[in-house]
Structure 1
Amino acid sequence: MRLEAITWQRLTEALAERLIATPPAGGGRRLRVALDGAPAARPEELAAELAEALRLRGRPVLPVAVDGFLRPASLRFEYGKQDPDAFYDLWYDTGALWREVFDPLEPDGDGRVLPDLWNPATDRATRSERVALGAGGVLLLHGPLLLGRWFPFDLTVHLSLSAAALARRTSAAERWTLPAFARYEDEVGPAEAADVVVRADRPEHPAWNGPLD
């Protein structure tokens, strides 16, 4: 894949312009965007910058972190607290994401999205209020392991790290997750599956597979 150097600001502006010009698929009224990346790639930062760029263009926008949809500890840690396959298969409540995030954004949905469901620190439901995302709005779902799950995204962005960069930028306490990301590369191939790929090995010098059409 040929990648071109770009700044984060230019990337954010290009993504915002692409989303402004993109109609939702299937007759929907709101866009659903994946910002996929391991924690070391900091997808939440791109989500925050893109949300601001969209708001400046007059679009309602709702960033949602996939980490707000973790399963209870009894399920996440059934095979121990550092099991890479459990992290890959069991940690994230994909059923709740479908029900609470994607279903309300269907063409006949009311647009009222639950921004988070579970607080891992307390291991209890967050009891957050639903947030209404108006017509023309944009959902920015950000976090790891988002692709290959049949979520109905209108645009997918993958923040790519080489295995060496991922290992280098992952904290010692979280390195047990590295086999899960290796499995993700093997089974999903996010750099091939995503619409937009951003190589973030060097955070100050990103590159991407642009330009966007």
Structure 2
Amino acid sequence: MVPVATRRRREVLGAVARHLLPRRPGHPLRVGIDGVCGSGKTTFAAELAAQVEALGRPAIVVDSDGFHHVRSRRRRRLDDPARGYYEDAYDFDALRDRVLVPLGPGGTRRFAVRVHDLESDAVITDANTTAPVDAVMLFAATFLQRAGLRDLWDEVIHLHVDLEVAQARGVERDAAALGGAVAATRAYEERYLAACRLYVAEQDPAPRASIVVDNTVLEAPRLLRPSDDI
């Protein structure tokens, strides 16, 4: 679902962009956009990148679809689909070693754009580029505040969305790919949102995030932290 570009949405995105812009750590600013499946992370990243660039900083959106594990790894726990998705969907070791570390303090700034092709299931080793030192790098995915990753983000934006709203959005978006609305609903209940519940229970991501946005109503998001003073 593409959000309507209301004045309120532009104000919230602008406020987040203005919060990020003064951050100049001497290397590209590594920003994770966190939230449950269906919370609107990918769209938020694209909109925020446009706001950052409009304010004069280069923005890089790294697509999380390029950081999945190969299919055999993703599907090795079919007996426990929630834990399987939580543990095996994303190649977070590659995200750490090939993106976050090289973009961090003392890094080369040369990073991987992707390490995997989701459609062909091919491993990618040569999709690399170099980030400007003042770039804002945005990476949107679930589970970004797990141990081993959480200390490598310079900022984390957590998108809060009521779970029933997130599921409805996800089912609408993915029904065709997952075999229809009934199958998609089952997949969200047993795998995707079930994994998100594990993540929330184990990591409590919202309080850890530096920025929290309530994205339940796409046309009227609310900036909960650092403040809603916009």
Same fold (TM over 0.5): yes
- Give 2:24's aligned residue: 23
Amino acid at match of 1:190: P
- CA distance in structure 2 between the aligned counterparts of 1:199 and 1:11, rounded to whole angstroms: 10
- CA distance in structure 1 between the aligned counterparts of 2:42 and 2:105, rounded to whole angstroms: 27
- Give 1:63's aligned residue: 61
- Give 1:209's aligned residue: 224
The answer to whether the 8 A contact 2:77-2:83 is kept is no
Alignment of 1:133-148 (within 5 A): 133-148=131-146
C-alpha displacement of 1:166 = 2.4
Alignment of 1:104 with 2:102, yes or no, is yes
- Give 1:165's aligned residue: 165
**Corresponding residue to 2:52 among 54, 78, 94:** 54
- Give 1:10's aligned residue: 11
- Give 2:205's aligned residue: 190
The answer to whether the 8 A contact 1:60-1:133 is kept is no
**CA pair 162-212 structure 1, distance change in 2 beyond 3 A:** closer
* TM-score (norm: length of structure 2): 0.81
- CA distance in structure 1 between the aligned counterparts of 2:48 and 2:122, rounded to whole angstroms: 30
**Corresponding residue to 2:122 among 114, 121, 124:** 124
C-alpha displacement of 1:212 = 7.5
C-alpha displacement of 1:82 = 7.4
Using the aligned pairs only, state the percent identity.
28
**CA pair 120-129 structure 1, distance change in 2 beyond 3 A:** closer
Show CA shifts across 1:63-104 (max 9, x none).
Answer: 112221111111111122971101001111111011110121
Q: Calculate the aligned-residue CA RMSD, in Å.
A: 2.1
The answer to whether the 8 A contact 2:117-2:123 is kept is yes
**CA pair 93-200 structure 1, distance change in 2 beyond 3 A:** same
C-alpha displacement of 1:127 = 5.0
Amino acid at match of 1:50: L
Amino acid at match of 1:143: A
C-alpha displacement of 1:11 = 1.5
Q: Structure 1: where are the runs of 5+ without partners?
A: 1-5
- CA distance in structure 2 between the aligned counterparts of 1:137 and 1:76, rounded to whole angstroms: 32
- CA distance in structure 1 between the aligned counterparts of 2:79 and 2:119, rounded to whole angstroms: 14
Alignment of 1:68-83 (within 5 A): 68-80=66-78, 83=81
Show CA shifts across 1:114-151 (max 9, x none).
Answer: 11111121110245531211111111011211113342
- CA distance in structure 1 between the aligned counterparts of 2:146 and 2:50, rounded to whole angstroms: 28
Q: Secondary structure at the match of 1:89?
A: helix
**CA pair 29-72 structure 1, distance change in 2 beyond 3 A:** same
C-alpha displacement of 1:56 = 2.0
What number of residue pairs does the alignment pair up?
Answer: 205
Q: Secondary structure at the match of 2:51?
A: helix
Q: Secondary structure at the match of 2:107?
A: coil
- CA distance in structure 1 between the aligned counterparts of 2:136 and 2:27, rounded to whole angstroms: 9
The answer to whether the 8 A contact 1:61-1:133 is kept is no
* TM-score (norm: length of structure 1): 0.87
Q: Secondary structure at the match of 1:41?
A: coil
Q: Structure 2: where are the runs of 5+ without partners?
A: 1-6, 172-180
C-alpha displacement of 1:196 = 1.4
